[in-house]
Amino acid sequence: MKLRFIILILLGLSVCASASPEEFARYQVIIDKRPFGEEPPEAPGPVQISLNESFAKNLRLSMLFEGPEGDVRAGIIDSSLNKSYILKIGEIENNIELVEANISDSEALLRKGNEMALFKLEAGKPEMLSKKQQASRSSSYADRRKALLKKVAQQKKAEQPKEPQLTGEALRKHLEQVQMNAIREGLPPLPMALTPEMDAQLVSEGVLDPL
């Protein structure tokens, strides 16, 4: 029934396209009732406000440096709270996130909520970004952050110490030692026979009875 009602409305609207203003008025009542529902509201995007109304008005970029892991960090001073922060890219402090930091360009991009501001070391006041600039920065930041996380994961994997691979005589001695320790501690032994030297050692320690 509902589908039939919608089809009838669509047919009526197609007639309206070629109807005169007087004829169109007859269909206006149906249109005003919004049979297809209200249009969904647009999702809120990055906003641009003046510096005097911005979270950035009391902030200053004090330093940029490279951390021990090769990541760029930014020093931020908040004069309103008399506090300073050291942030890594993607890190959040007091709801303020360091989105980007570039030592060569002497700049850092901070975000709080939907608001973003660009800071430079030599500039006293931050630059408020337009909506288009914010959208572009957010998109490129997401790509760079994904690449950075992948790089860090690869570095950590490469830094994990590898156990030395024993071979030959070194492997044999290692297995013999493991076997003797297992017998001493009453654990299940390895599937390998004791050598006369191993047997004599365990007998002298009182672990095994003499034959």
Within 10 Å of residue 22's Cβ, how many Cβ atoms?
7
> With contact defined as beta carbons under 8 Å apart, do 99 and 107 qualify?
no
pLDDT of residue 2: 46
User: For the domain bounded by 51-129, which CATH number is listed?
Assistant: 2.30.30
User: Stretch 72-80: mean pLDDT, rounded?
Assistant: 90
Is pTM beyond 0.95? Reply is no
- Which residues have a Cβ under 8 Å from the Cβ of 127 and sit 6 or more positions away? 117, 118, 119, 120
Q: Which tokens hold the place of 13? A: 């609207």
Q: Residue 101's beta-bridge partner residues?
A: 108
pLDDT of residue 31: 60
Task: Find the range with the poorest average confidence among 27-36, 130-139, 150-159.
Answer: 27-36
**In Å, what is the CA distance from 132 to each residue of 39, 45, 107, 148?**
24, 10, 19, 24
Instruction: Give the β-pairing of 96-102 and 83-88.
Output: unpaired
The rounded distance, in Å, linking the Cα atoms of 62 and 171 is 57
The rounded distance, in Å, linking the Cα atoms of 191 and 98 is 58
Report phi then psi at 128, rounded to 5.
Answer: -85, 130
Examine the pLDDT at 86 and tell me if it is beyond 60. Answer: yes
Q: Report the amino acid identity of residue 102.
A: N
Find the angle CA(68)-CA(70)-CA(74) to the nearest 5 degrees: 85
pLDDT per residue as tens digits for the range 113-151:
888 888 998 877 888 776 676 666 655 555 666 666 677
Give ranges for CATH 2.30.30 in the chain.
Answer: 51-129
Q: 26-35, 124-133, 170-179: which has the highest mean pLDDT?
A: 170-179
